[in-house]
Amino acid sequence: MIKPEISLNIGSLQQAYRAGRLNPLQVVDFVMDAIGDDAHTAWIHRVDAPTLRAQAQALMERSPAGLPLWGIPFAIKDNIDLAGVPTTAGCHDYAYTPEVSATVVQRLLDAGAIAIGKANLDQFATGLNGTRSPYGACRNAFNPDYVSGGSSAGSAVSVALGHVSFSLGTDTAGSGRVPAGFNHLVGLKPSLGLLSTQGVVPACRSLDVVSIFALTADDAQEVFAVAHGVDAQDAYSRPAQPHGFDFGRADQWRVGVPRADQLQFLGDSGYAQCYQEALVHAKALGAEVVEIDFAPFAQTARLLYEGPWVAERYQAIRAFIDAQPDSVFPVTREITLGGAKLLAADAFAAQYRLRALAQRCAGVWADIDCMLLPTSPTIHPIATLLAEPIARNSDFGYYTNFVNLLDYAAMAVPAGFRDDGLPCGVTFIAQAHQDQPLLHLAQRWQRALQGQAATLGATGHAAVPFDPTMAVPSGQVRVAVCGAHLQGQPLNHQLTSRGARLVQRTTTAPNYRLYALPDGHRPGLVRVAEGGAAIDVEVWELPASQFGSFVDGIPAPLGIGRTVLADGRLVAGFICEPDGLQGAKEITIFGGWRAYRSQLK
């Protein structure tokens, strides 16, 4: 494990910038030194030193205000355009030099980020291993004899080695998650269309997403917030929708895991052990583990290389591969040309099969908020992969290949290490547009890790947490309840019938008094300047569209105002009109409605 002098975690870097210990020019020089001779073959093209220094100097003449990524270095997978820099997609003869950057890249540049260069990849983003490149096999950040994962190989390794703070990859079958798992990173595979793919060389156009690799989930959140948005130039672009219940910030949440007989580790006891430890970690964060039938997801995964999506890969580079087949990496050529043989009837048959499987998979979500799966069943040495390039590559996709086909979002997170020092990862998966809850959950997950598992990539550094500046709105309202609406109490159905979910059991700040109203069935919560106490409350989350009818059903003297919680947060909460306290009995000493009611029995 290396330990670079500077930690490039965004929180660390911003802290150093604010304190005046670093400036972007120094960071650019550090990055160039850190990359050195690129022993892991993470890079295809690096922006030249004078250009990078000029960009850093220009940033230093601007205020960081309004530039959330001011001076933050990043890498770009070399199937994503950066103006003035060749895009190769891992193929010398395919290369072209774009005049404008991809939309997602430009948004990051406009936010003050510094593009260091283009990262190595499995050619035409075809592969999950990182060896299918004429520029050389990309090597794992922890052990160069092992695969890096792909196709976003260099994107992951450059972050893990401390060359850059974050990177862009792409994900069609797991390429934004497998390399994260193999290199002890977080990897966000967003919902389809939330990050523009304008300026991206397609693999499967209908499934492709731009992904984010980062040292921390906080970093990934900040990058996602800057990068997402509708792009009129991208036919698949769509706005982020309200994500509903934020299980990532809930004390209690439901996580689906495959039945024991459906788990697959290909004899890798280290990965199996890491996954079991991950389940323990999830429970410690409030997860209720729910066994699910993984069969329809596994069957969906197999469609990816059996149906029209192979033909879609062929279509993406059809003119080039037909004209210059010998320019394509042999295994990539074999896979891609297989798509030329499929009939339109085959495409329809596969779509029908996918629709049927998707319906079966959809039934699982009634019982869970997200899934927790191994990111990969195992990892292989480069030599093993090269000996059986297709079969061993397929090993890595067992838990990833279905996600894009079903339009899910996913977040790969570190989980620990095998005895030989190679990292293991797990992935949380949720339905489309639940990217924000996944990011919130990953933040909690990572902050609760301990020991080596809490370090960043292969750098040995610890994270410096920070609060990302933006988030996708949830479309939910949180409300604190203290009486008859508590779980198990008579009016709780007024919340649950509106789709509300319990988020947290906590207390108010210690400046409230509680009264039993004269009807004996409801309490009145009153904020006071002195002589108050902390009162037990529950925080529930319900759709904003249902909040108005919930409030409308609250009879006087109660209403909804703002409640200060123990941690200082303000949420909607019950208040009582002063006239309603006439004849009421103060019950503050009990600390809550439940405790008061229990002594009446």
Residues serving a catalytic function are 77, 151, 175
CB count in 10 Å sphere of residue 235: 11
Instruction: Count CA within 13 A, CB hemisphere, residue 32.
Output: 15
Return phi, psi of residue 49, to 5°. Answer: -60, -45
How open is the CA angle 488-441-178, to the nearest 5 degrees? 140
Nearest C-alpha neighbor of 572 from the set 595, 549, 596, 538 = 538
Closest CA to 589 of 527, 512, 537: 512
82 touches 76 (CB < 8 A):
yes
Give the contacts of 585 (CB within 8 A, at least 6 positions apart). 515, 516
Beta strands in 47-113 (DSSP E): 73-77
* 428: enclosing H helix or E strand: strand 423-431
Q: Phi and psi dihedrals of 96, rounded to 5?
A: -145, 160
What is the residue type of 442? A
User: Distance (Å, rounded) from C-alpha 332 to C-alpha 393?
Assistant: 12
Does the N-terminal peptide bond of residue 151 adopt cis geometry, omega within 30 degrees of 0?
Answer: yes
CA-closest candidate to residue 74, choices 105, 43, 45, 115: 115
Q: At what angle do helices 24-35 and 49-60 cross, to 10 degrees?
A: 160
Please tell me the distance from the alpha carbon of residue 259 to that of residue 124, in angstroms, as a whole number. 35
Residues in the chain: 601
CA angle 281, 283, 284 (to 5 degrees): 65
Helices H / strands E in the chain, number of each: 20, 19
* Alpha-carbon span 472 to 209, nearest angstrom: 18
The distance in angstroms from the start CA to the end CA of the chain is: 62
Of the CA atoms within 13 Å of residue 94, those in its CB half-sphere come to 24
Q: How far apart are CA 533 and CA 510, in angstroms?
A: 4
Token pair in block for residue 282: 């999830």
Instruction: Find the farthest-apart pair of alpha carbons in the chain and give their distance in angstroms, rounded.
Output: 90
Q: Is the peptide bond before 258 cis (omega within 30 degrees of 0)?
A: no
